[in-house]
Structures are given as C-alpha cells and as structure tokens.
Structure 1
Amino acid sequence: MIKGFIFDLDGVITDTAELHYKAWKNLADEMGWDFDYEINDKLRGISRMDSIKVILDHNQASLDEETLAELATKKNDIYVSSLDEMTSEDYLPGAKELLTHLRTEGFNVALGSASKNAIKVLQQLNANMYFDVIGDGNSVSKSKPEPDIFLYGSEKMKLQPDECIVFEDAESGIDAAKAGGFYSVGIGPKERVGHADLRFDSMAEATLFEIKSHFKDLF
C-alpha cells in the first residue's frame, strides 16, 4: 500500500530553472564559455559540481578542483540572491493542490531534492507545512541517479521504498527512483521521463485522482 510521497523540488514543486539558467549564464559569460538552454537542460537533476563539469566538457576546458569549487560557489551565490524574488505564488500549477490533498488524506510527504538551497526555496514558497521530511543536497553524499536521497526520505518516514511514490522531472531522478525500488511519476516529455511508471506533461495533470486511478491496486 502507498503511504508516502517523495517530491523533487525544481521542475516539480516550483520552477527555479530560469533562475539557475541566469546564474550559470552569468558565470559562463564571465569565463568566456559557451552556454545556452540546450546545455542548461543537461544540468537538470544533477549536482552543482557535476553541472560545472558538464559545462567544462562542452567547452573542452579543464580546471583544477579548487577552482571548480570556487566557481560553483560563485554561481550558487548568484542563484541564492535571486531566490529572494520568489513568493508563495511561485508553485507550479497543480503542485500546491496536490500537496494539500495529500495532507488532507494523511499521507507522509518528503522532499527529495539535490539542491542545497531547498530549505530557502521552501521558505520563500511558504511550503514547509506540507513536508514531514526534508531531504536535500546536504542530506546524502551521493546524488541522483543514485537512489540515496529517496532512500533517506523513505527511511525518515519509516516506510519501505515500495510504499512510496517519487515525483521527478529529470531522467536521472527517475533512474534513481527505479534503482531504489520506488514507484515513480515523471513530470515532463516522454523522451526525458517516459521510463517512469506514470507520466504527465505537467503537475497540473498530476491530480491525486489520476494517481490513485493508475496505481489503484496500491491504495
């Protein structure tokens, strides 16, 4: 039986993708690197350090680990300062409604995000009330596609992976859910999250009714 839900943050609860893009673009321009939306899409769901390595590979550049860490921190500072612009109006359509229904029906809910700024984002959204457990980039050492962040969430909720449904918008996130033995709901295009157990184009379509209808034997 499904007793818990685990949500990624960016692209599922809210969309900070444009803020991330602007921060990376700012850094790339300063370094003289090529960076556009196509490269940015490859950063979906992966850590900050992995992201900067993708950008480096694309530009056939190399830097020592210390410099990489400094640049990743610089990008993060740009991004974090932009988070002050976020408000409780910045949920993706359908996300707040789903979280509210899960609360009403008494399900356990965890956040499973690679972001180290997840707590700040939740505060800006006024969303803490919807989550029993916060799993973020500070909670585990191995990021997606490793399942550690989702396993952290299920363990803290005292649930088994097969008692939880993971919501993800990244290919690496669905891979992580599958690796951990979780049921999965993909948010986004088929070519990216089509390997999830259930897929929606957007969170607006991902109602609790639709989820229960698909996983009817588990409720």
Structure 2
Amino acid sequence: MGLEKIKGFIFDLDGVISNTSVLHSKAWKQIADKVGTPWNDKLAEDLKGVDRMDSLNLILDRGNLQGKYSEEDKLALAQEKNDNYLNLVDQMSPADILPGIKEFLDSLRDNGYLIALASASKNAPTVLEKLQLSEYFQKVVNPALLSKGKPDPEIYTKGAEILDLAPEQCIGIEDAEVGIAAINGAGETSIGIGSADILKDADIVFASTDELTLANIEKAL
C-alpha cells in the first residue's frame, strides 16, 4: 500500500509536534518528589501518552503509596501538576516546534490531506496556540469526552470519525508505545517517532521528526 488510500493524518502532540513531553516530565517529577516516589527514566517513559489521573496513580503505585491518598488528595495533586505544567507551557513559542513538523504540516495541507489532533492532554489547544499551529488543526479530539485512555484505541477511532474518514484512510503519528497500540487497535497505519526498539509495533518508525515527509512515508509503505 502506498499513500493513495490515505486521506488524513492524526497527530499526537507530546513528543511529535513539540517536546511538551519534557514539560510533562518536569511537572510530574515535581509531584513524584513531593510524594516521595523515586524518579527514573523508566517511570518517565511509562508516563508518556497517559492521561492525568492514570499518570498520578502510576506514580503512587511505583512508590507503594496508594493507601496514603484519598480521592480528594489525588485531585489536588493532579491539579498541582497541571498548574506546574501550565506555568511551563506559558513560556512556549514557535521555537518549540520539533524539527520538520511545520514543513510537514504545510505539505499535508498543500496536498489536500485532512489533519486532526489526538492528544490525551486537555491543554493541547493552549499549546497549539502558543506554537501558532492552531490553524492546521481544525479538528481536535476532546479528551474530556473519552471513556478510556491510550492504549485503548478510542482516541484514534474518534480522530477518524471527526475527519469523516474510515480508519484505513488514516495515518496516526505517536512517540509512545501506548500511542502506537492505540493507533493499531483503531485499524489505522501507525508511524512511531523515536526508538525502533520501543516502538517495534509501529508500521513505520522514524528516528526523529525531521524524517517525517510524504516522500519518506511513501517509500516506507
């Protein structure tokens, strides 16, 4: 299969459009430090692409701290993480767009492809605004309306729906293992950005965003 069947591209945000995953990590590390869960690369990787409450529960599980916090405490910690994150987002600008992404979005638009965003982050529209990319993403999946987070395919199924496309007409782009599982589960073609070992289930893997071009995708398909 080449690109002839593809009509739309569905993007994750963190680690694909901008390195907001680094900001999420910083904000979650502040929470992990506060509750006393040791921070390491494995925890940082496992939090990628996971929604807010699931991320908090993961941090508490890793520190064997689940019994110490009520639902009310957890909501307060999740809110604190979000405040930390928004302070970091506030400093973002178009300089924070990952290499090649603006050019890729231009080429998709010029070639008539539909574009949607499928981010677990409720702050995604704010980030797009800071990056000055909102005009490319007329269609954004609202994570508040989802019943399940990644790796469940729901977010990518919704992405195809809001573009009025069948799943097989869509390519999803992710940097996290849970995201690739979600794209594959939705029956879409998956592109992973990052390590081929971690993203081994992706249909196509590019080491970095600057390899993301229509020509390279066509070749890989």
What does residue 72 of structure 1 align with? 78
Q: State yes or no: 1:11 paired with 2:15.
A: yes
Equivalent AA in structure 1 for residue 7 of structure 2: K
What does residue 26 of structure 2 align with? 22
Instruction: Tell me the CA shift for residue 75 of structure 1.
Output: 0.5
What does residue 172 of structure 1 align with? 178
Q: How far apart, CA to CA, are the structure 2 residues paired with 1:55 and 1:32? A: 9
The C-alpha deviation readout for 1:153-196, integer Å capped at 9, x for no partner, is 11111100000000011111111111111111011102221111
Q: How far apart, CA to CA, are the structure 1 residues paired with 2:142 and 2:178? A: 15
The C-alpha deviation readout for 1:25-74, integer Å capped at 9, x for no partner, is 22222223322333111101111111111111111111222211221111
What does residue 147 of structure 1 align with? 153
Structure 2, unaligned runs of 5 or more? none
CA RMSD of aligned residues (A): 1.2
Which of residues 131, 138, 143 in structure 2 aligns to 1:137?
143
Equivalent AA in structure 1 for residue 218 of structure 2: K
Structure 1, unaligned runs of 5 or more? none
What does residue 36 of structure 1 align with? 40
Return the TM-score normalized by structure 1: 0.94
Q: How far apart, CA to CA, are the structure 2 residues paired with 1:5 and 1:161? A: 10
Q: How does 1:27-176 map to 2 (within 5 A)?
A: 27-62=31-66, 63-176=69-182
Q: How far apart, CA to CA, are the structure 2 residues paired with 1:141 and 1:100? A: 33
Count of aligned positions: 215
Q: How far apart, CA to CA, are the structure 2 residues paired with 1:15 and 1:91? A: 8
Query: In the alignment, is the contact (CA less than 8 A) between 2:92 and 2:130 conserved in 1?
Result: yes
Query: In the alignment, is the contact (CA less than 8 A) between 1:108 and 1:157 conserved in 2?
Result: yes
Identity %: 45
Query: In the alignment, is the contact (CA less than 8 A) between 1:139 and 1:149 conserved in 2?
Result: no
The C-alpha deviation readout for 1:126-171, integer Å capped at 9, x for no partner, is 1011123111422422111111111111111110000000001111
